[in-house]
Amino acid sequence: MIRLERRPEASQLMSYASPLIAIALMLIGGLLLFAFLGKNPLEGFIVFFINPISDLYGVSELLLKATPLMLIAVGLAVGFRANVWNIGAEGQLIVGGIAASAVALYFYESEGIHILVLMVIAGAIGGMLWATIPAFLKTRFNTNEILVSLMLVYVAQLMVSWLVHGPMMDPDGFNFPQSRMFEDPALLPLLSDENRLNFAFVMAIGALLVGYIFMYRSFAGFQMQVAGYAKDAARYAGFSAKKMIWIGLLSGGGMAGLAGMSEVAGPMGQLTEHVSNNYGFAAIIVAFVARLNPVGIFFASLLMALLYLGGEQAQQYLALPSSISNVFQGMLLMFLLGSDVFINYRIRWKEATA
């Protein structure tokens, strides 16, 4: 018989090495996947991982895709460190995009930098308000924030669908489910005229810096870390569990809402039903691969963005569905969780008794 026995102490070195092990296993699994699909594994590897970043434009697209992942993941990491499990960042992103779009459409044909400023504020507040629902229900009725935040994703998806089919539909859009294209004052400025990378990337880097300072250089961040490692010790020290829940959920919601704003005011330039490309769910993987560390989140976001771009390249050059990127994301998470099991547990063999 095989059983798992908990180790007296998990290896700190292996804890940081396991994401690299998971990435290596994902690459090996990817080669096998291409072979099973009847494709040349080497050609599949080059198309999926090399072609997307083979020129400067490809690198700029990588950074563009990584931007919302950085924003969301750093917000989620704040809560995850205190065992506050916000799984609804996808819905919070959508609501943030809706709120920012409402500002852009309200000030349609207006000029001034105040439009973008209000869109940033509206996006963050929209995401935070959506996260307020699971926070209130958790602190007031002790509901499960995982289930509540996840179910609210589907409510947000239905909401944006109704809006772009109704109140926010472009009157000159031939009944397509989308809003008007935003005018220049409601669009984030580009960092270069030669690509689509915009100011949201700078915002994401700033968010990572602020997140690092909060997590590792502030008393509130210390409180959340203690609450995550030792709940009883945090309670004994007088740290408010309800405060940890509110900070964790609102930080995740605010950053997700800001990511929604960066999408509608950035590469999309309007509100549609597909305001998110499952960034809210992918950012959860990013946060765990990064070990909830803002520096790690930067690199993990680049990896996840590369998987998105690789899926698009595989569709174009290998005649594979772009959803193959989701398979790679799933493998990455599976191998990471599997590695973590063996970090915390060892296998014991036990003879079966009659």
Over residues 214-267, the pLDDT tens digits come to 999 999 999 998 988 888 888 888 888 899 999 999 999 999 999 999 999 999
Q: Running DSSP on this structure, what letter comes out for residue 52?
A: G
Q: How confident is the model at residue 353 (pLDDT cuts 50, 70, 90)?
A: low
- Mean pLDDT, the chain, as a whole number? 94
Q: Which domain holds residue 144?
A: 67-289
| Average pLDDT value for residue range 194-216 | 97
247 touches 113 (CB < 8 A): no
Nearest alpha-carbon partner for 271 in 129, 151, 101: 101
Residue 269 domain-assigned (yes or no): yes
What are 128-182's pLDDT values in tens digits?
999 999 999 999 999 999 999 999 999 999 999 999 999 999 999 889 999 999 9
Within a 13 Å sphere around the CA of 142, how many CA atoms are in the beta-carbon half?
Answer: 1
Residue 119 domain-assigned (yes or no): yes
Residue 252 domain-assigned (yes or no): yes
What separation in angstroms does the CA of 352 have from each of 3, 133, 287, 298, 346? 11, 50, 41, 48, 18
Provide the domain count of the chain: 1
Residue 94 domain-assigned (yes or no): yes
Residue 20 domain-assigned (yes or no): no
First-to-final CA distance of the chain: 12
Q: Which two tokens stand for residue 158?
A: 């239905």
Residue 352 domain-assigned (yes or no): no
Inter-axis angle of helices 241-264 and 56-80, to 10 degrees?
Answer: 160
Q: Which two tokens stand for residue 16?
A: 């940081």
| Average pLDDT value for residue range 265-276 | 95
pLDDT at res. 354: 52
